[in-house]
Amino acid sequence: MAVFSRGFGARRRESDPRLPPGQYLTEDFPVLSAGPTPRVATGEWEFSIRSESGHIASWDWEQFRSLPIDDIATDIHCVTRWSKLGTSWRGVSLDTLLAEVDTEAEFAMAHSYGGYTTNIALEDLTDGKAWVAFEFEGEPLDAEHGGPARLLVPHLYFWKSAKWVRGLTLTSDEQPGFWEQNGYNMHGDPWTEERYW
Ligand SMILES: Nc1nc2c(c(=O)[nH]1)N[C@H]1C(S)=C(S)[C@@H](COP(=O)(O)O)O[C@H]1N2
Ligand SMILES: [Mo]
């Protein structure tokens, strides 16, 4: 016979197996932006990938939206310790986009409208682990959350999921992005708490 006290319930909640160490659950969707929200019209939007040899693959909004779409159900984890479980997104897999690029590079720098950057190893962007997402919970992505489109790399801390993403630069050496230059970890795995240097 089991007797459940409130304390037991709270502990069970904290030990939800979907919650990485040091994280707490949130039901709302906090906005975390290092600067003002860029307003990018889809008619002006472009996404491009530049390889280490200087070749550029690019998509305007219409071309991007004609690519195959994934439905993504995932948990997200911010380094400031909030996690949000069971979010749903739609986006284009980075595998689809990178298929247009001939590269031997191991690293990428994501660039955003507004100037934000974050570095991500190519192995963290491939094999179904990353998307350029344009819908959240069935609605077009709000500008505050990175619309028209943002990177979604949910297996890493959410600072790697660049909002208002406009492209990737592929390189053979690893360079730090905006937060990484300011002490955040180069990789950012929430399960091993790769928060800071
Ligand atoms: N362009 C851009 N992308 C960004 C950020 C930012 O400041 N600018 N903040 C990052 C951080 S620290 C987090 S936690 C998430 C927050 O996304 P949200 O505002 O949709 O919750 O976006 C990430 N992507
Ligand atoms: Mo964050």
* pLDDT tens readout for residues 100-128: 999 999 999 999 999 999 999 999 999 99
Name the token pair of 30. 């906090």
- Interatomic CA distance for residues 7 and 86, integer angstroms: 24
Q: Ligand 1 in contact with 142 (CB < 6 A)?
A: no
- pLDDT tens string 127-170: 999 999 999 999 999 999 999 999 999 999 999 999 999 999 99
Q: Which domains does the chain have, with CATH numbers?
A: 45-71+88-192 (3.90.420.10)
| Unique residue bearing structure tokens 């180069």 | 186
- Interatomic CA distance for residues 151 and 163, integer angstroms: 6
pTM value surpassing 0.85: yes
Residues whose beta carbons lie less than 5 angstroms from ion ligand 2: 32, 78-79, 158-159
